Amino acid sequence: MDSYDLAIIGAGPSGLFAAYYAGFRGLSTVVADALPEPGGQITAMYPEKMIYDVAGFPAIKGRDLVDNLVRQAAMSNPHYLLGNRVEDLEYVDGQPILSFADGTRLRFGAVIITGGLGSFTSRPLPAADSFTGEGVVYFVPELAAHTDKDVVIVGGGDSAFDWAQALHPIARSVMLVHRREKFRAHARSVTVVRDLGVPIVVNAQVARILGDGTVSGVEIAVKGEADARTYPADTVVAALGFTADLGPLGRWGLELDKRHIRTDSTTATNLPRVFAAGDIADYPGKVRLIATGFGEAATAVNNAAVAINPDAHLFPGHSSDDG
């Protein structure tokens, strides 16, 4: 059985920064994620979205932030196990043993869980159940794929309005459909999209998707109207949110608060040598931001280093002091 100092479960921003910092501490590291690419929710859900609350970047696109984090982590030469879910945790002689979906078993000195929301599944669009063709999507990883297309976005949350704003300059047309008059999205995002002139149909839902093999249009049922409205569409973006759960982590015996893992101020969980950082971690006063996750990742790695080697110093010094 191969052994490493540290396992990082989750290749989102917190996990990638933890991978870099683990190398700074001289720890051999495995970064595991069920998704096939690093970046976690950013890569899967909003790679083209601008992010404004990361220190040092007045604004940075999600995809670029992930690329920077991957390059930074590469300085520490982590070993990636992507598209391979961690299934089980056991202890042998006090050390964590992780079993993966493909049958791999590895021994570690410590484990840091940075799994964000855990595994997530898009909420389905009911009208898509009877449509077997192409053109219904739940995320927009590549804006350019929708150039000169008619796009109908279904939803009233931040993702729906972010994608409406991002697609407006390149799509032939963009329309947003929401089943209520009120939106979950940030008020500023709603104002920006309205000011762009994007049509917003409220108290409505997509009743039927038209097309043979590919989407060609939609029928929209509006509350109080007897007949459905028909609009052209090449793509229907179902931005209806997602459901999330901890998957196998939920049966490990971790102390949980719903779908979050409880930690103390050192990021330690109730299980020996297991720490948690980023959105998946929870403690009184927690604020779920990428910036918070970066700090927790460094705290987790430093405390894991001491768990692995009790003679190690908790604080390794500043990176600027490293010749």
d(CA 189, CA 159): 10
Q: Is 311 left (phi over 0), alpha (psi -120 to 50) or beta?
A: alpha
Instruction: Establish whether 320 is an annotated binding residue.
Output: yes
- Residue 25 DSSP one-character state: T
Instruction: Establish whether 102 is an annotated binding residue.
Output: no
Instruction: Establish whether 33 is an annotated binding residue.
Output: yes
Instruction: Establish whether 120 is an annotated binding residue.
Output: yes
Instruction: Establish whether 41 is an annotated binding residue.
Output: yes
Instruction: Establish whether 86 is an annotated binding residue.
Output: yes
Q: Which residues are annotated as a binding site?
A: 14, 33, 41, 46, 86, 120, 279, 320
Residue numbers in the known binding site for FAD are 14, 33, 41, 46, 86, 120, 279, 320
